[in-house]
Amino acid sequence: MNLAFASAAAVLFGGGAFLLLQRDLLRIVAGVALISQAATLTLIGVSRSRGQAPIAPEADLPVSDPLPQALTLTALVIGLATLALLLSMVDRLVVVFDTAYQQPVPDEEEDQQEDQEADQQPDQEADQEADQMADQKAVRTAGEDQHRQRAEEQPP
Amino acid sequence: MTASSALPVSLLVPWAAGAVLIVLDGRRRWVAWGGVAALVATLLVLLALTVQVVGQGTQQVVTGGWPPGVGIVLRADALGVTFALVSVLVLLAALTHEAVTTPRVPAFPGLVVLLAAGLTGLFLTGDVFNFYVFFEVSMTASYGLAAYGGGADQLRAALFFAAVNLLGSFIFLIAVAGTYHLTGALSMADVAQRISTADSNAALLVAVGFFVAFSVKLGLFPFHSWLPTVYAGASPAVAAILSGAVANIGGYGLLRFGSGLFPAQLRLTATGLIVLGAASIVYGAVLATSRKSMAEMLAYSAIGQVGYILVAVGLGGPVGLEAAVLYSVVNALNKGLLFLTSGVRGPLVAGAFAIGALSVAGVPPAIGFLGKLELFRAAIVANSPALVVLFVAGSVLSLLYLFRVYQRTYWQPEGGDDGSVSGLPVRALAWALAVVVVGIGLWPQPLLMLSERAAHALSGGAA
């Protein structure tokens, strides 16, 4: 039985880790969800105990341990909340970028580096255009100029 | 305030204030200042708690009046209050920085105060699972903060940050499950007692799980991939919060779980930890030297600086632990000062930045000197010339990269300085932080005493 729990948790974790490395944002979220389930399953699996329900037990019989259930419930609630948060972030990203694919981050980091090395005038204008296009795609907050603002490190 | 009330009140104040602030529009000035007031109140309660801890020893409260072993234990010892104090101080500075410039996102003050609630709870809990809950409270608040600004870069960085750190959180949860399986307890005191009789291989595995989880938070060398993107992409206040307050979770966790709960496993892997820490120092310093933008340089510098903490934890012993506590505090304050100052321009601001840079390099009288001094002491006590050389090289490199950027930013007319001047309050805040950094360096007795007691509390087991 332990082996079944362990292998199920391992499969969930492995699948989650694989999905986490994909470029599709929804798959990343699904990966996080699977890994959270792997953790929940581990919590249940490592603390199984047999006995009566711990509410008003008879004195001489063994009582099952209620603590793991409480931990699992708490972990599930936290997992649900983080999942909702991640999904809302993906939603915003899809609105801003109009794509559900993660841009490769290291490349982007390099790009930024180059941006800052090059003289900033032409880049800035390109950024502005990009920002304006993003604007038209219903960016709702006032933070759209962040990119340029950060380049100049200048609070308003 | 009686002995038992300061501890719960220190958790209640930021939690209640945060719950109210999060539904208000944080772009209004009075809401932001309300958040500042809540953090000041938290800081005052924590100071009262610190005085109690120093005067009367560890404070302990079992929630709900349950007998110990059933109820969740809240414990305030020197280690916990030290970390709580410095984290809330950095949060206060960052929120004040945003309050004087008016936050651009409604939820910002509420999130910062809730982050303070999560961090205070995490540093003051005596229960492993309760630690996980507060850990998630703080991390959820920081995911929201990482997206602060709502720009495309911030969102992308925030999603990356959230995905990597959630992976770390669930590894932590799995390690908690393992701890419960091995010891049948969740209270830190019981776990520390029973872990020595547990199966040593399984205990090592669980300890590695905790180590990975905290290294991800801290951004140590092999687990750092999320860090440069997020720190460089975030606004200065958020970067200060992440590196000065949220990263403390990692340092505290390494100390509490490594030295406090798994001392045998820590000794077994000490060499490995020192090697990883050294790799982190070299990697961070070299890459920081190669970066030209201030934000990226500071991000890589952060990777290097946490390496010192890991090396000190690996060295262990009273001196090593004291150095680790002290350096965590020093690093949080340095990073808070540098990141907040990095966005400010105007007369005398370069001086505040220079003080932060000198502090990172370990030049007296700034606070960084204390941290470096303790590190050198730890390396000499451990009889390791190689580590002394490493620390010297790291310090020299940090001086190099900080002043290269300093020159580029403040001395060259086109180096990001377009002649505009930040408002007086923002500059005053930068200077206030610089004064704190120098002030603690000039009068270090309270901090030294606290970190010595913290190291004592750790090496003395659960006591």
Structure tokens at A4: 């079944």
Across the interface, of A89, A97, A116, the residue whose CB is closest to B152 is A97
Can you give the pLDDT at residue A118? Answer: 45
Average pLDDT over residues B134-141: 92
Per residue in B39-77, is it b (16+ CB within 10 Å) or e — as a string?
beebbebbebbbebbeeeebbbbbeeeeeeeeebbbbbb
Res. A48: pLDDT tops 90: no
Res. B99: pLDDT tops 90: no
Confidence of residue A105 (pLDDT cuts 50, 70, 90): very low
Can you give the pLDDT at residue A100? Answer: 63
- What whole-number percentage of chain B has pLDDT above 70? 95
The CA distances from residue A12 to A7, A28, A33, B158, in Å, are 8, 14, 9, 25
Lowest mean pLDDT: which of A123-132, B51-60, B122-131, B425-434? A123-132
Q: Which residues on chain A are in Cβ contact (under 8 Å) with B170? A: 35-36, 38-39
ipTM: 0.83
ω into B222 cis (within 30 of 0):
no
Q: Tell me which chain A residue has its CA closest to the CA of residue B186.
A: A67
Mutate to test the interface with B, among A13, A24, A46, A119 (most CBs of B within 10 A): A46
Res. A136: pLDDT tops 60: no
Q: How high does pLDDT run on average in chain B? A: 86
Average pLDDT over residues B346-354: 82
Structure tokens at A134: 């993003």
Give the Cα separation of A6 and A12 in Å (integer).
Answer: 10
Res. A132: pLDDT tops 60: no
Confidence of residue A109 (pLDDT cuts 50, 70, 90): very low
Average pLDDT over residues B338-349: 82
Can you give the pLDDT at residue B207? Answer: 92
Can you give the pLDDT at residue B88? Answer: 93
Contact, B374 vs B387, CB < 8 A? no
Can you give the pLDDT at residue B5? Answer: 80
Highest mean pLDDT among A48-57, A94-103, B374-383: B374-383
Lowest mean pLDDT: which of A12-16, A38-42, A50-54? A50-54
Res. A61: pLDDT tops 50: yes
Highest mean pLDDT among B59-63, B118-122, B258-262: B118-122
Structure tokens at B259: 């030295």
Structure tokens at B273: 């930890």
- To 5 degrees, how large is the angle CA A65–CA A71–CA A74? 145
Give the Cα separation of B271 and B266 in Å (integer).
Answer: 9
Can you give the pLDDT at residue B275? Answer: 92
Is A86 in contact with B105 (Cβ distance < 8 A)?
A: no
The helix (H) or strand (E) run that includes residue B214 is helix B200-218
Contact, B84 vs B50, CB < 8 A? no
Res. A141: pLDDT tops 70: no
Is A38 in contact with B104 (Cβ distance < 8 A)?
A: no
Average pLDDT over residues B241-249: 91
Confidence of residue A119 (pLDDT cuts 50, 70, 90): very low
Q: In this structure, what are the phi and psi dihedrals at residue A52, rounded to the nearest 5 degrees?
A: -75, 160
Mutate to test the interface with A, among B98, B108, B122, B159 (most CBs of A within 10 A): B159
B91 by Cβ neighbours in 10 Å (0-12 / 13-18 / 19+) ranks as buried
In this predicted model, what pLDDT tens digit does every residue of B145-159 receive, in sequence order?
Answer: 888 776 777 788 888
Give the Cα separation of B84 and B10 in Å (integer).
Answer: 10
Can you give the pLDDT at residue A53? Answer: 78
Average pLDDT over residues B17-42: 87
Give the Cα separation of B117 and A104 in Å (integer).
Answer: 34
Q: Which residues on chain B are in Cβ contact (under 8 Å) with A46? A: 177-178, 180-181
10 Å Cβ neighbour count for A154?
A: 16
Highest mean pLDDT among A103-112, A130-139, B72-81: B72-81
Confidence of residue B120 (pLDDT cuts 50, 70, 90): very high
Q: A47 CA to chain B: closest CA distance, Å?
A: 6
Q: A53 CA to chain B: closest CA distance, Å?
A: 17
Can you give the pLDDT at residue B441? Answer: 86
Q: Which residues on chain A are in Cβ contact (under 8 Å) with B177? A: 39, 42-43, 45-47, 71
The helix (H) or strand (E) run that includes residue B60 is strand B59-62
Res. A107: pLDDT tops 50: no
In this predicted model, what pLDDT tens digit does every residue of B175-217 receive, in sequence order?
Answer: 999 998 888 888 888 888 888 888 888 899 999 999 999 998 8
Lowest mean pLDDT: which of A89-103, B47-61, B95-109, B238-252? A89-103
Res. B353: pLDDT tops 60: yes
Q: Which residues on chain A are in Cβ contact (under 8 Å) with B235? A: 146, 150
Contact, B154 vs B184, CB < 8 A? no
Q: In this structure, what are the phi and psi dihedrals at residue B5, rounded to the nearest 5 degrees?
A: -95, -25
Can you give the pLDDT at residue B76? Answer: 87
3-state secondary structure of B68: strand
Can you give the pLDDT at residue B462? Answer: 39
In this predicted model, what pLDDT tens digit does every residue of B366-398 receive, in sequence order?
Answer: 888 988 988 998 899 888 888 999 999 999 898
Q: Which of residues 376-435 of B touch A (CB under 8 A)?
A: 409, 416, 418, 420, 422, 426
Confidence of residue B4 (pLDDT cuts 50, 70, 90): low
User: What are A52's strand-pairing partners?
Assistant: A63
- Provide the 8-state DSSP code for B261: I
Give the Cα separation of B72 and B131 in Å (integer).
Answer: 10
Lowest mean pLDDT: which of A38-42, A57-61, B414-418? B414-418
Can you give the pLDDT at residue B195? Answer: 86
Structure tokens at B396: 């020299």
Can you give the pLDDT at residue B460? Answer: 64
Confidence of residue A154 (pLDDT cuts 50, 70, 90): very low
Stronger pLDDT, B390 or A64, i.e. the higher one: B390
Give the Cα separation of A122 and A119 in Å (integer).
Answer: 8
Give the Cα separation of B186 and B77 in Å (integer).
Answer: 18
Res. B302: pLDDT tops 80: yes
Q: Look up tokens 């805040």; give the residue.
A: B429
Tallying the residues shown for chain A, one arrives at 156
Confidence of residue B414 (pLDDT cuts 50, 70, 90): low
Q: Look up tokens 């580029």; give the residue.
A: B408
Res. B43: pLDDT tops 90: yes
